Amino acid sequence: MGVPSAVADRIRDADLVAYLATPVNGRPHVAPVWYGYDDGVLSVLTTGKKLANIRQNPQVAVSIEQHTAENAGWMVTLLGTATVADEAARVNEAAWEIFPKYIGPDDATWPDYLQQALTDDPPESLVEIEIEIASATATQLSH
């Protein structure tokens, strides 16, 4: 199906937190993540339970929502298949794509734990999610 341009336009440069759902033992594990998006692929740097779950079952779901204190503006749901890359160069490149969107381009100001993603031995892995199904909902909800 691919990613409709309306969905891609909403998520491409948005500095929003995405919620990544990974399945394990028949139950979802949902966690917030920072992400990068380019041409039908959502990229995440992660470790721990999320990464272990993806290695067991690469079928994932992602939810992204933009809202203000007054209302929810839009919601996007993405379903796809994840692949894991552990090569330092790929992790470094993804860090440069993802982190500046959230905390600025000056890596000297990044916390130490994020700067580690730029080393020759990064503690996180790159997860690339090939989006297979994407849907968006615009809302006019008031609180």
* Inside any domain, residue 143: no
Is position 37 within any domain?
A: yes
97: its two tokens: 């794509």
Domain holding 75, by residue range, is: 5-138
Rounded Cα–Cα distance for residues 63 and 45 (Å) = 16
pLDDT, tens digit, for every residue of 6-32? 888 888 888 888 999 998 888 889 999
Q: What is the DSSP string of 36-49?
A: EEETTEEEEEE-HH
Residue 9 resides in a domain? yes
pLDDT tens digits, one per residue of 57-111: 999 999 998 877 777 778 899 999 999 999 999 999 999 999 999 999 999 999 9
- Give a yes or no: residue 114 inside a domain: yes
Q: Give the domain CATH number at 98.
A: 2.30.110.10
For residues 40 and 3, what is the distance between their CA atoms, to the nearest angstrom?
A: 6
pTM value > 0.85: yes
